[in-house]
Amino acid sequence: MKSLICIKQSNESGEMNLFDTHAIEEALKLKQKFENRGYQEDFSVDVVTIGPSENSKIIKRAFGMGADKGYHVITKERGYSFSFETASRLAAVAKKESYDLILTGIMSQDLMAGQTGPMLAEILNLPCVTGVVKTELAADNSSIKVEQEMENGFRNGLEIILPAVLTIQAGINTPRYPTLSRMLAAGKKEIMTFNETDLFSKKTGAVQAREIFVSMEDPQKTRAGHLLQGSLADKAKQLFTVLHGKALI
Amino acid sequence: MKQILVIAEMLDGVIQPATWEITAAAAKIKKLKESGQIKIIIPSDDPLPIAKETAKQTGMDVIGLKSNDLKDYDSDVYKQCLFKLVKTIDPSHILTAHTSQGRDFAPGLAISFNAASIACVNEIKKDDKGLLYSRSVLGNTKNMIVRPAEGIPVVLTLMPGVFQPDNFNNQKKGRVEICEIAFDPDCSNTRRIRHEKILQKSCENKTLKGAKIIVSAGRGIGKKENLDAIFKFAQCFSSSAVGVSRPLVDMGWIGYEHQVGITGAAVSPRLYIACGISGSSQHLAGMKDARFVVSINNNPDAPIFRHSDLCIVEDIDPFLQAFLKVVQTK
């Protein structure tokens, strides 16, 4: 079994995207269960990220958690890249090996689009389930049972034929912390790097962006936003007065 | 004149209200573009009755996308059938709701249709170069304004609860067309995704739904033990309930039945007090209909303050204690 986990460094925190840590944890748990069943075959957990060279720190963190191989597509641009470009680059890396299972976080914390996983699946022509909150590999490893989060507390119980792409929702597990011994070993571990020209032939050329960033704006206020002033006790009194005046307390 | 397609949100064979929000967004696009024709697509195994009703109700043209495999949602079936239909129409825009279904199939549809894809759209505007789409980013502290690359169609998923449904012109009746499209699974004769069962995590969020006053806690309360203070605070009010933002449920601090937001309960109490909640767009979607909103947060830049009537910049615990003292003296 070969798994590939797509991870991203958050533009906000500089850390690994929270949902991606859940994706790595889920792969490591699947690996553990797989090995406990005593198969001869290995279960590998590889990670891939895209971004400037300093982003390799999140690959090291993934090694510290227990990941096997690390791939890094080095791009010059900092900041935001759109899902289509990301998914195209990830697909080019994923095609280099035949992965049975590809996991991503349900979305990035910074851009919150949740498109990379399903786009990657479509480019690779694989089935995809988004918002996964439970996984269980079938006994013959040919499929995986998952629960997909829907609205209003409902969950869809699905079985997907492998290879497949799953996007992982928070709450599915508690991501482990990297161990010290693994972190020390991670420093020496090789990360395989690619740049755009390694991934795309001259004929096809680099990925053409389909979305264009225009600007960042402050969201508009939807309510009055009256700010209470004064000491802590003053504010507590003012709140009581306002709520009492509205017959809410 | 290129068409603007609305893909209806279907659940158990019933058209969902989110569809009318997407239709309103489509009407806005048509108005800003000063061209285009809106068509509502209803994917179903038996779309005719729903299509007729929708055409009557909205006055818009409706296409019933018919396939036996469209009875329940399946991303492979949706993507393939929609792609086959959309290809023949060649629209400028494809709109759907940013729900668990919409965000599941729309990005893949955009790939096969070679379209731009913009998720979680919360506003549509234009400048001299064309239409612009706004989406909430960075924990709802900013809106990113995006435009599709020139000359390609765009797939949009729209944030639920943002676009107000229009009053439809039902003087005239829209036309109804049924398109039957067969789903064929890749090479083998089996589907790649098998549907086993629908599970319900909790059926009891009645407490939140009926509450007149909701006191909600977010990550900003610091630790699980501080939930006790939130419950105590809630007891100051009659007919109150305790809500929380998603991370608290994910961390296992409290049950799902308390979760407010897009994946939890949508509430509309007379008073909503947000304690230590930063205000993600997902949370706001669940509490925007509250009549009066008070927010307490030690971060003066927390996005929730933009969506509050009363803002209190304080640490939660000391503030709640101070408030309880005031209550005791009254």
The complex scores an ipTM of 0.93
For chain A positions 126-145, those within 8 Å of chain B (CB to CB) are: 127-131, 143, 145
* Domain presence at residue B49: yes
Instruction: Report pLDDT for B188.
Output: 60
Whether residue A242 lies inside any domain: the answer is no
Looking at residue B156, which CATH number applies to its domain? Answer: 3.40.50.620
Taking the Cβ of residue A115 and every Cβ of chain B, the question of whether any pair is shorter than 8 Å is answered with yes
**Residue B200 falls inside a structural domain:** no
B127 and B40 in one domain? yes
Q: Give residue A47's domain range.
A: 2-199
- The dihedral region occupied by B296, where left means phi > 0, alpha psi between -120 and 50, and beta the remainder, is beta
A135 assigned to some structural domain: yes
Residue B257: CATH number of its domain: 3.40.50.1220
Q: Does B117 reside within a domain? A: yes
A22, two tokens = 């859940």
Residue A223 belongs to some domain of the structure: no
Distances from the Cα of A126 to the Cα of A123, A144, B59, B192, angstroms: 8, 13, 39, 9
User: B171 and B218 in one domain?
Assistant: no
In a domain, A235, yes or no: no
Q: Is residue A220 part of a domain?
A: no
Does B234 lie in the same domain as B173? no
Co-location of B39 and B167 in the same domain: yes
pLDDT values of chain B reduced to their tens digit, one per residue, 330 residues: 899 999 999 998 999 999 999 999 999 999 999 999 999 999 999 999 999 999 999 999 999 999 999 998 999 999 999 999 999 999 999 999 999 999 999 999 999 999 999 999 999 999 999 999 999 999 899 999 999 999 999 999 999 989 999 877 667 889 999 999 999 887 566 789 998 888 876 655 567 878 999 999 999 999 999 999 999 999 999 999 999 999 999 999 999 899 999 888 899 999 999 999 999 988 999 999 999 999 999 999 999 999 999 999 999 999 999 999 999 998
Q: Which of B180, B214, B232 is the last residue of a domain?
A: B180
- A122/B108 Cβ within 8 A: yes
Half-sphere exposure of A233 (CA within 13 A, CB side): 3
Touching A: B residues 107-166, CB under 8 Å: 107-108, 110-112, 115-120, 132, 134-149, 152
Q: Is residue A25 part of a domain?
A: yes
Q: Which residues of B touch A228 (CB under 8 A)?
A: 310-312
Residue B201 lies in a domain: no
Mean pLDDT along residues A19-26: 98
Which of A107, A151, A242, A244 to mutate to probe the B interface, most B CBs <10 Å? A151
B12 and B161 belong to one structural domain: yes
pLDDT of residue A79: 67
With tokens 């490591």, the residue in question is: A28
Q: Do B100 and A153 touch (CB under 8 A)?
A: no
Same domain, B43 and B167: yes
Spell out which residues of chain B touch residue A130, defining contact as CB-CB under 8 Å.
100, 103-104
Domain that holds residue B74: 3-180
Q: Does residue A180 lie within any of the structural domains?
A: yes
Tell whether B196 is covered by a domain. no
Confidence (pLDDT) at B203? 54
Nearest to B157 by CA among B168, B146, B141: B146
Q: Which two tokens stand for residue B103?
A: 């965000």
Nearest to A131 among B100, B143, B306 (CB): B100
Partners of residue A204 on adjacent β-strands: none
Question: How far off is chain B from A13, nearest CA to CA, in Å?
Answer: 10
**Confidence check: pLDDT of A163 > 60:** yes
Write out residues 3-42 of A within 8 Å (CB-CB) of B: 11-12
B232 shares a domain with B161 = no
Cβ distance of B145 and A129 shorter than 8 Å? no
Is the pLDDT reported for residue A39 higher than 90?
no
pLDDT over 80 at A222, yes or no: yes
Whether residues B233 and B309 fall in one domain: yes
Residue B129: closest CA among chain A residues belongs to which residue? A214
> Residue A235 carries which side chain, given as an amino acid letter?
K
Which residues of chain B have a CB within 8 Å of the CB of A170? 246-247, 250
Domain count for chain B, please give it.
2
- Count of domains forming chain A: 1
Contact B5/B92 with Cβ under 8 angstroms? no
More confident of the two residues B265 and A202: B265
* 234-253 of B, contacting A, C-beta below 8 A: 236-237, 246-247, 249-250
Closest Cα in chain B to A229 = B312
Instruction: Pinpoint the alpha helices (H) of chain B.
Output: 18-33, 48-58, 75-89, 102-112, 206-210, 227-234, 246-250, 281-287, 316-329
CATH label of the domain that carries residue A103: 3.40.50.620
Same domain as B211, residue B173: no
Q: Which residue has the tokens 């914390």?
A: A109
Average pLDDT, chain A: 94
Task: Indicate the residue among B137, B164, B180 that finishes a domain.
Answer: B180
Q: Which of A11, A150, A211 sits opposite B149 (nearest CB)?
A: A211
Whether residue B154 sits in one domain with residue B18: yes
B:25-64 residues touching chain A, CB 8 A cutoff: none
